[in-house]
Amino acid sequence: MRETKRFDRRQFLGALTWGIGALISAGLGIPAVAYVIGPALQRKEAQDWIRIGSTTKVELGTPTLFKARVTRRAGWIENEEELSAYVRTDNGRDFIAMSNICTHLGCRVRWVSGEQKFFCPCHNGVFDKDGNVLAGPPPRALDRFEIKVEDEQLFILGG
């Protein structure tokens, strides 16, 4: 004779309690894990072209400072920052965009038109109008931005 194992009331209520607990845990746990890990799994956004101003503001042979506000997102945090660049042209068609941040310690450089040089006030770094190092401690030339012109507007590649 074959014995049949019966599922008594106590076992049924125990299994039901475990099942409901598992459903509640999954219902709360899966979205929580997705919320925490989600930003890390997202692809990095492509760099964007940032409009900095009109080509008519750039004087021939003189670097002109342009500033733009940029909102950057890192995971759940959004930061608004100011992006600055010097733009120079010698013929009105070909433009060069350089960072205004010294490559030594990150101080802001300024253009002194009387001397036709960029100066860094922190440690007396000196750069020529192309951003090349002339004197001081900076280890390399000013960083360059990729630049394009559309409808008389200047755009730099940011990111």
Q: Tell me: do 140 and 65 sit in the same domain.
A: yes
> What pTM value is reported for the model?
0.66
Asked if 111 and 98 count as a contact pair (C-beta separation under 8 A), the reply is: no
Q: Tell me: do 59 and 34 sit in the same domain.
A: no
Q: Tell me: do 7 and 85 sit in the same domain.
A: no
Q: Tell me: do 76 and 140 sit in the same domain.
A: yes
Q: Tell me: do 55 and 32 sit in the same domain.
A: no
pLDDT at residue 77 in the model? 80
Q: Tell me: do 110 and 84 sit in the same domain.
A: yes
Average pLDDT over the chain reads: 85
Specify which residues 80 forms β-bridges with.
Answer: 71
Q: Position 6: which residue type?
A: R
Determine the Cα–Cα distance for residues 43 and 89; give it in Å rounded to an integer: 36
| Domains of the chain: total | 2
Q: Retrieve residue 25's tokens.
A: 């845990």
Q: Tell me: do 84 and 30 sit in the same domain.
A: no
Report DSSP letters for 101-119, one per residue.
Answer: B-TTT-PBPEEETTTTEEE
DSSP-assigned letter for residue 138: -
Q: What are phi and psi of 96, to 5 degrees?
A: -120, 135
Containing structural domain, residue 23: 1-42
Q: Tell me: do 97 and 68 sit in the same domain.
A: yes
For residue 43, pLDDT over 70 is answered with no
* pLDDT confidence bin for 152, thresholds 50/70/90: confident
Q: Tell me: do 19 and 60 sit in the same domain.
A: no
The CATH number of whichever domain residue 90 belongs to comes to 2.102.10.10
pLDDT at residue 46 in the model? 54
Q: Tell me: do 58 and 108 sit in the same domain.
A: yes
Q: Tell me: do 23 and 87 sit in the same domain.
A: no
Determine the Cα–Cα distance for residues 28 and 43; give it in Å rounded to an integer: 25
The residue that leads in pLDDT, 40 or 154, is 154
- Kindly report, residue by residue over 97-150, the tens digit of the pLDDT: 998 889 888 899 999 988 999 999 888 889 998 889 999 898 999 999 899 888
Q: Retrieve residue 11's tokens.
A: 């076992």
pLDDT at residue 24 in the model? 94
Q: Tell me: do 32 and 106 sit in the same domain.
A: no
Which SS3 state, helix, strand or coil, does residue 131 take?
A: coil
Determine the Cα–Cα distance for residues 13 and 16; give it in Å rounded to an integer: 5
